[in-house]
Amino acid sequence: MALKVYADRLSQPSRAVLIFCKVNGIAFEEVKVALSKFEHLTPEFKEINPMVKVPVIVDGRFKLFESHAILIYLSCAFPGVADHWYPSDLFRRAKIHSVLDWHHSNLRSGAAPLIFNTVLAPLFGRPLNPQVAAEAEKILFKSLSKIESFWLKGNGKFLLGGFKPSIADLSLVCEIMQLELLDEKDRSRILGPHLKVREWVENTRNATNPHFDEFHKVLLKLKETLQKQRSLKLTSKI
């Protein structure tokens, strides 16, 4: 039985896992779980993941959630995965764990609540919270500056001076791609000053294409819809 990946392509950690599988030729079945339709709250999905989150993988009798843990598991369980994704070298591996842990309490803690409280909340029947969004933007901005000045230092094209991407590049870049959903003005204010970050996003995209673009289509379609809604609102105000 092939590996099953329970995912919503609008969720950034879901996309990281899906792209990783495709890039590494891991055969899998994608089981779509639409968060905006609350499909993660059904009794069937709660059997798969009692934490009601995506992504989750089911590999035979083995179930696993939390995208970083999944990316590490896939790197180790599938022998075809190239070493640069999750290096066997003790020191490089330790640094990748460090980036992934940092991601949780920095980049994700900024980006996720910002996008939710600026764009996504209404899709889930929740109100937008501009105060939370403003706090989140500060964390996000600081995180992007740290990526630029610390994680991206060195001559490599990827995090930690790497010349090939690791699971940390893929995970963090998918997080940053979520900013596509913001109004262009907001997105420019946040990403504009971070040239190295923008180059690194592009490097990661190029290193994982055509799959990167394929799995970001849904996000970019939602971006388009949101832009149309914004112009309509603007027109109706004039």
Q: Nearer Cβ to a second copy, position 142 or 228?
A: 142
Residue nearer to a second copy on the CB measure, 18 or 222:
18
Question: 20, 28, 45, 65: which one contacts a second copy (CB under 8 A)?
Answer: 65
Bridge partners for 58 per DSSP = 4, 63
Contact map string, positions 135 to 164, toward a second copy, x by CB under 8 A = -----------x--xx--------------
Q: Cβ of residue 213: shortest distance to a second copy, in angstroms?
A: 27
**Binding of a second copy by 212 (CB under 8 A):** no
What does each C-alpha distance from 38 to 33, 46, 124, 228 come to in angstroms? Answer: 8, 12, 8, 25
Q: Return the range that interacts with a second copy (CB under 8 A); candidates 26-34, 69-77, 154-162, 228-236.
A: 69-77
**Residue 50 touching a second copy (CB under 8 A):** yes
Q: Does 194 bind a second copy (CB under 8 A)?
A: no
The distance of closest approach from Cβ of residue 234 to a second copy in the complex, given in angstroms and rounded to an integer, is: 33
Residues near 6 by Cβ (< 8 Å), separated by ≥ 6? 31, 33, 45, 48, 49, 54, 55, 56, 57, 58
**How do 62-65 and 56-59 pair as beta strands?**
antiparallel
Nearer to a second copy, 137 or 222 (CB): 137
The binder of a second copy chosen from 9, 15, 68, 157 (CB under 8 A): 68
**Candidate segments 98-106, 173-181, 194-202, 218-226, binder of a second copy by CB under 8 A:** 98-106
Q: Looking at 2, 34, 69, 128, which residue binds a second copy (CB under 8 A)?
A: 69
Output the smallest distance, CB 236 to a second copy, in A: 35
- Residues lying near a second copy in the complex (CB under 8 A) are found at 50-51, 62, 64-69, 72-73, 76-77, 90-91, 94-95, 97-98, 100-102, 104-105, 108, 146, 149-150
